[in-house]
């Protein structure tokens, strides 16, 4: 047997203050993102299967609506207009069911084990949220490659691509934490699956992913304005195909929404563990 | 802090609605011993373990780990604990090495020591040769040993095991206990274990506390507990003597049964 590490004689570590929690959160985010990449490396098939639905949206819906010019998008071809929306949708679909993984982790004892590490709840939830973002970004690569093959004109500016990654991470973090929050309330996989299915399409249709806001009826425009997905799509569209975007507002809303939802999800984590 | 017990619970109490799960529990676990917490389903063992491991809140002063208050310094307490839950909790998608490295990172094991420490604990549980294989190819006993490695990689002072051998065949069970014994001898760590297996408790634990309805009904070495009942008594007899044998008392919660079935199911 190799020489085993032996514990120090006494616990000297103090509980971390706000700065300590922030530093821990950064380290945990890096750890969980690494684990997500390791999982993807071991099982790449999910990237392909999850690409089927966005591929259908781009190949069938996008190409047909481009030909019939049913949705006015100015000088921008409809397929180009649609691609960032489908990118956001694919990230949304990954993140919104992340709560199911949390419930599985609770049932399998993984969550308990994670919570017995020196990781503040909020750091753990933040790490999970950005791990979902990493998976969404990996998925986005597949969707964007498909968009390029279909002839969508995408920006070549690397800074804008970094912005795309940031928007996807923040959007996924919000929806992942929304999912963890629902998991903390309903406590069962079946109920979460039902609610997840019930809210994903309304979130998608009540956003600017498929059509310009101006085409929406008044009540839908109101919903669109409080839907974080719309800000994510606007940022992605501005960065990827150069349409007008209020990037400061978009990223401001995404940062605030993600921070708020991380806080709410963290507060429900103990309930989830007890449930 | 020198001379403090590894675990001290004082008047520990936990209530869920009208149900009192832990009812004024007093307990001291000595440094370096293997301490068994026994009792029927619903006795309060898991609730006690969850409070000790910070998973459930405890009032200030009710639990101390080597003199450190669990309620006031949770993070410091967690750094002293290694925890293996009842369920098989390793990530089947990842390799054994990645599973252990994850916990090395979560416990902030310094990068320069991480590789050596991960290898050392994998070696200690005889999994170094298969460390790079995906865990979904491991047997149930191997997964349990891997979980021990995950708990040990941070060099904990107290190893908390919740039903570590449930669902394992006798060979795998012996394999798990052989590693626990060897690791304890090598490191001097304290082991707190819950189990339903009386024979296992008899042979592996230095001292045992028998819980029933949230309280400790008997405490001592296995020999002391057996001797108190009669010259030929077994730990099964001790268990029956202190807990009664009514079906209602032994049925346990649905959650306990589900968890045990899930674990057994995953073990095949």
pLDDT at B169: 84
pLDDT at B268: 45
Residue B247 placed within a domain: no
Query: Tell me: the pLDDT tens digits for B20-61?
Result: 889 989 999 999 999 999 988 888 898 999 999 999 999 999
Query: Tell me: the pLDDT tens digits for B89-109?
Result: 999 999 999 999 999 999 999
> Does B250 have pLDDT greater than 70?
no
Query: What angle do the packed helices A189-205 and A158-186 form, to 10 degrees?
Result: 140
Q: B94 vs A15: CB contact, 8 Å cut-off?
A: no
Half-sphere exposure of B123 (CA within 13 A, CB side): 11
Q: Which residues of chain A make contact with B124, given a CB cutoff of 8 A?
A: 1-2, 4
Q: How far does A168 lie from chain B, in Å, by closest CA?
A: 25
Structure tokens, A274: 């007890």
Residue B104 placed within a domain: yes
Q: B81 vs A116: CB contact, 8 Å cut-off?
A: yes
Q: How far does A20 lie from chain B, in Å, by closest CA?
A: 11
Q: Does A15 touch chain B (CB under 8 A)?
A: yes
Domain count along chain B: 1
Q: B66 vs A10: CB contact, 8 Å cut-off?
A: yes
Classify each residue of B32-46 as buried b or exposed e, where b means 16 or more C-beta atoms within 10 Å of its C-beta: ebbbbbbbbbbbbbb
- Label residue A1 by pLDDT band (50, 70, 90): low
Query: Tell me: the pLDDT tens digits for B133-184?
Result: 999 999 988 999 999 999 999 999 999 999 888 878 888 888 888 888 888 8
Q: Does B121 touch chain A (CB under 8 A)?
A: yes
Sequential DSSP letters for B182-242: HHHHHH--EEEEEES-HHHHHHH-SEEEEEETTEEEEEE-HHHHHHHH-TT--HHHHHHHH
pLDDT at B2: 59
> Does A84 have pLDDT greater than 90?
yes
CB atoms within 10 A of CB A146: 17
Q: What is the DSSP letter of B177?
A: H
CA distances for B113 relative to A35, A51, A97, A240, B80, angstroms: 19, 40, 37, 43, 18
Q: Which residues of chain A make contact with B264, given a CB cutoff of 8 A?
A: none
**Gap between the Cα atoms of B244 and B247, Å rounded:** 9
CB atoms within 10 A of CB A107: 17
Q: Which residues of chain A make contact with B102, given a CB cutoff of 8 A?
A: 31, 35
Interface size, chain A vs chain B, as Cβ–Cβ contacts under 8 Å: 135
- Label residue B187 by pLDDT band (50, 70, 90): confident
Q: Does B182 touch chain A (CB under 8 A)?
A: yes
> Does A8 have pLDDT greater than 60?
no
Which is more confidently placed, A165 or A20? Answer: A165
Q: B81 vs A107: CB contact, 8 Å cut-off?
A: no
Q: A1 vs B124: CB contact, 8 Å cut-off?
A: yes
**Gap between the Cα atoms of B80 and B69, Å rounded:** 12
- Contacts of range A48-56, beta carbons closer than 8 Å, 24 or more positions apart: A48/A142, A50/A90, A50/A93, A50/A94, A50/A139, A50/A142, A51/A90, A51/A139, A51/A142, A51/A143, A51/A146, A53/A90, A53/A93, A54/A86, A54/A87, A54/A89, A54/A90, A54/A143, A54/A146, A55/A143, A55/A146
Query: Tell me: the pLDDT tens digits for B116-139?
Result: 999 999 999 999 999 999 999 999
pLDDT at A103: 93
Q: B83 vs A6: CB contact, 8 Å cut-off?
A: no
Residue B2 placed within a domain: no
Which is more confidently placed, B111 or B265? Answer: B111
Q: Does B103 touch chain A (CB under 8 A)?
A: yes
Range of the domain at B139: 91-155
CA distances for A271 relative to A39, A103, A180, A274, B37, angstroms: 27, 12, 11, 5, 26
Q: B186 vs A38: CB contact, 8 Å cut-off?
A: no
> Does B247 have pLDDT greater than 50?
no
pLDDT at B249: 46
SS3 B111: helix
- Label residue B256 by pLDDT band (50, 70, 90): low
């Amino acid at each position: 047997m190799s020489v085993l590490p032996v514990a120090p004689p006494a616990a000297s570590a103090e509980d971390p203050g706000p700065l300590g929690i922030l530093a821990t959160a950064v380290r945990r985010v890096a750890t969980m993102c690494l684990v997500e990449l390791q999982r993807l490396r071991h099982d790449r098939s999910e990237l392909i299967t999850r690409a089927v639905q966005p591929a259908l949206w781009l190949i069938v819906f996008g190409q047909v609506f481009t030909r019939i010019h049913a949705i006015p998008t100015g000088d921008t071809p409809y397929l180009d207009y649609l691609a960032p929306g489908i990118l956001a949708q694919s990230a949304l679909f990954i993140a919104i069911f992340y709560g199911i993984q949390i419930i599985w982790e609770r049932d399998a004892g993984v969550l308990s084990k994670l919570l017995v590490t020196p990781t503040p709840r909020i750091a753990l939830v933040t790490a999970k949220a950005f791990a979902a973002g990493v998976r969404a970004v990996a998925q986005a690569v597949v969707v964007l490659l498909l968009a390029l093959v279909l002839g969508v004109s995408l920006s070549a500016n690397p800074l804008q691509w970094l912005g795309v990654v940031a928007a996807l991470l923040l959007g996924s973090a919000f929806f992942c934490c929304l999912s963890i929050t629902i998991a903390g309330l309903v406590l069962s996989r079946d109920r979460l699956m039902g609610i997840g299915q019930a809210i994903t399409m309304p979130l998608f249709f009540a956003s600017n992913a498929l059509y310009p806001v101006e085409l929406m009826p008044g009540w839908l425009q109101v919903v669109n304005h409080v839907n974080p997905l719309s800000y994510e799509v606007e940022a992605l569209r501005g960065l990827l195909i150069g349409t007008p975007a209020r990037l400061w507002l978009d990223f401001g809303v995404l940062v605030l929404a993600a921070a708020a939802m991380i806080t709410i999800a963290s507060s429900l984590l103990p309930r989830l563990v007890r449930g | 802090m020198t001379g403090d017990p590894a675990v001290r619970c004082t008047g520990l109490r936990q209530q869920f609605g009208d149900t009192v799960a832990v009812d004024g529990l007093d307990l001291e676990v000595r440094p370096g011993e293997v301490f068994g917490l026994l009792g029927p389903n619903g006795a309060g063992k898991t609730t006690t373990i969850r409070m000790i491991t910070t998973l459930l809140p405890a009032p200030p002063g009710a639990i101390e780990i080597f003199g450190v208050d669990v309620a006031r310094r949770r993070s410091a307490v967690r750094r002293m604990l290694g925890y293996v839950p009842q369920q098989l909790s390793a990530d089947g998608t990842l390799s054994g090495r990645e599973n252990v490295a994850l916990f090395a990172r979560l416990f902030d094991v310094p990068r320069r020591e991480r590789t050596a420490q991960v290898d050392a604990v994998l070696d200690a549980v005889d999994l170094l040769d298969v460390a790079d294989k995906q865990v979904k190819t491991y047997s149930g006993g191997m997964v349990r040993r891997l979980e021990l490695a995950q708990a040990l990689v941070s060099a904990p002072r107290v190893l908390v095991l919740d039903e570590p051998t449930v669902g394992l065949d006798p060979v795998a069970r012996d394999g798990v206990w052989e590693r626990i014994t060897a690791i304890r001898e090598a490191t001097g760590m304290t082991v707190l274990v819950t189990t339903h297996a009386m024979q296992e408790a008899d042979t592996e634990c230095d001292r045992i506390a028998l819980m029933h309805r949230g309280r400790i009904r008997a405490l001592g070495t296995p020999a002391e507990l057996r001797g108190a009942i009669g010259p030929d008594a077994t730990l099964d007899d001790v268990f029956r003597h202190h807990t009664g044998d009514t079906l209602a008392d032994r049925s346990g919660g649905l959650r306990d049964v589900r968890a045990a079935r899930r674990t057994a199911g995953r073990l095949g």
